[in-house]
Amino acid sequence: MGLDIKYMQIEGTKKYWSVSEGAYCCLIDKKRTNFFKKSIFNTVKKNDIVVDVGTGTGILALFAAEAGAKKVYVVEIDRRCAATLKENFAKNGFGDVIDVIYGNALNVKLPERVDVIICEMISTGLIEELQIPVMNNILKFGKKNVKVFLNQYDSYVDLVSQNTKFYGHKLDIFRFDYPGIPETKSTSFAKKIKYLSVNFNKKNAKEKISKIIRLKINKNGIINGVRISGQTVFFDKSVFGCSSAYSFPLILPIQDVKVRKGDEFDVYLSYTLCGVQGDIEYSISKIK
């Protein structure tokens, strides 16, 4: 005899956006998110018009609204995400303050000029993501003295020793130094050198960079990686390095090289800014 089961529908069928892991990781990264919150409160003033591009969960837009913004425009390319954001902003009492614009940040048009631009599409070394081309478009809608929240990004390179053993196997792969995960930590063998500085207050070309950076070894040992790292300067002059979900160092594998203090190496780096990771070309050469 079959069971006659009856259900009481609690809520209608929901459709959420599919790519949410990265946004959630940013949300629960307290070091990053609390830093951003403090800097937003130092930047956004009462009655400012703000745009938040690449908002993810919408938490930075909520901070801007809490800081006193008269209007916050959120640009979102995913239709389902846009619908979810609208619901969440309303639930938090900011439905009338935060407007969600469904569109592509690369060519979207804003309904008015803004006082503050929040755009966090940063990847280590500006190798991936779309910070530069998106900012090039959004800057057109900034007022004369627009406040660019993420003001500048500086990229650095050094030489390191890294763990290449995984589950009993040696794997030379692109990998990251994740803060708080000891197994991923590498050891530096040279003072890091800044090789690139990008100011987001002005239009930047999505260009291919080719750099040769000379590094001096500061201790004896074995190196097997080129490490790229970065730091961000914000509008309020605060500086942030990396966290578990933001600009964590990238390590490019090289063969094991025995080094002594005082040795010098030239590191060659080439890639397209805001391109793709597979575009990277790199090598190291010892100075005789």
CATH number at residue 199: 2.70.160.11
Structural tokens at position 40:
């937003």
pLDDT tens digits, 160-187: 999 999 999 999 999 999 998 888 899 9
The domain in which residue 114 lies consists of 28-120
**Last residue of some domain: 120, 140, 171?**
120
Whether pLDDT at 63 is above 60: yes
**Last residue of some domain: 74, 99, 120?**
120
pLDDT at 6: 62
Q: Which residues pair with 250 in a beta bridge?
A: 176, 228
CATH number at residue 105: 3.40.50.150
One domain for residues 160 and 57:
no
Count: domains in the chain: 2
* Residue 12 placed within a domain: no
Residue with token string 């291919």:
208
Whether pLDDT at 245 is above 90: yes
| pLDDT band per the 50, 70, 90 thresholds, residue 278 | low
* Residue 261 placed within a domain: yes
Structural tokens at position 25:
């990781």
| pLDDT band per the 50, 70, 90 thresholds, residue 286 | very high
Whether pLDDT at 248 is above 90: yes
Mean pLDDT of 213-224: 98
CB-based burial label for 93 (10 Å; 0-12, 13-18, 19+): exposed
Four-residue CA torsion sign, 158, 232, 28, 84: negative
